[in-house]
Amino acid sequence: MKKFFLAPSILSADFARLGEDTQKVIDAGGDLIHFDVMDNHYVPNLTMGPMILESLRNYNIIAPIDVHLMVKPVDNLIPQFAKAGATFITFHPEATEHIERTLQLIKESGCKAGLALNPTTPLNFLDYILEKLDLILLMSVNPGFGNQSFLPSTFNKLRQVRKIIDKNFLDIILQVDGGVKLDNIAEIAFSGANSFVIGSGLFKYSNYDLIIKKIRKELKHAHSRSIH
């Protein structure tokens, strides 16, 4: 079965017990830790900086950390997040003057690079840089807050990006972020995503093991639907 990457968004974790809560979702089966960085400028909210990521590494969180930068400008923060222990760094094309330069900076700092597209950001931002991407993130809500509703227009966009990736025989992770829940994850996977950011849809439950087991079961259904 093809690999699906579950990316718990610690934006919905208990910030007073961040290390413990992060370890708990990894133990329950999370693959990547999704780390949302907001600056009250590119998006109307303020969250975490590189110091907090470094604290998680010092707490012995060894899972890959997927940093989603919702900040403008982007470039200054890249070496800081890389040094703090980021694995992936994803940014929004509207937040940087020179997309290709920002991608180069991420690669030079030793991280994998992702591009995040807002619900109305056109796909032609992928032209010319596709081969340089390790991850494409499709926002299925407007960035800035957890616990918003999934925008159904994302399904069509997902199918289009999946076609572009496959047509070019590329091994790019296609990630969806916003409003992912147990009851829509199968449809999202069936539309072409293979990584799922899940915040409130996971952290609102007390038993992470149980909810992740249920999610995996849903993903299995999506997989068998796609091969029949």
Binding-site residues sit at: 9, 34, 36, 68, 144-147, 177-179, 199-200
Measuring CA to CA, how many Å separate 178 from each of 12, 69, 119, 121, 151?
A: 12, 15, 10, 15, 8
Amino acid symbol at 87: T
Site for ligand DX5 (CB under 6 A): which residue of 77, 180, 189, 215? 180
Question: Which residues is 176 bridged to in the sheet?
Answer: 138, 196
Closest residue to Zn ion, Cβ-based? 68
Q: Could you tell me if 170 and 131 are in contact, meaning their C-beta atoms sit under 8 angstroms apart? A: yes
Tell whether residue 194 is a contact of ligand DX5 (CB under 6 A). Answer: no
Q: What is the DSSP letter of 17?
A: G
Q: Among residue numbers 91 through 150, which ones bind ligand DX5 (CB under 6 A)? A: 141, 143-148
Which residue lies nearer to ligand DX5 by CB, 65 or 197? 197
Tell whether residue 39 is a contact of Zn ion (CB under 5 A). Answer: no
Site for ligand DX5 (CB under 6 A): which residue of 30, 50, 114, 179? 179
Q: Using CB distances below 5 to 8 A depending on partner kind, what does residue 201 bind out of ligand DX5, Zn ion, none?
A: ligand DX5
Q: String of b and e for 88-126 (b: at least 16 CB within 10 Å)?
A: bbbbbbebbeebeebbebbeebebbbbbbbbeebeeebb
Amino acid symbol at 147: N
Active site residue 177: yes
x-or-dash pattern for ligand DX5, window 29-68, by CB under 6 A? Answer: -----x-x-------------------------------x
93 token code pair: 């094309």
Shortest distance in whole angstroms from residue 213 CB to ligand DX5: 18
Q: Which residues bind ligand DX5 (CB under 6 A)?
A: 9, 11-12, 34, 36, 68, 141, 143-148, 177-180, 197-201
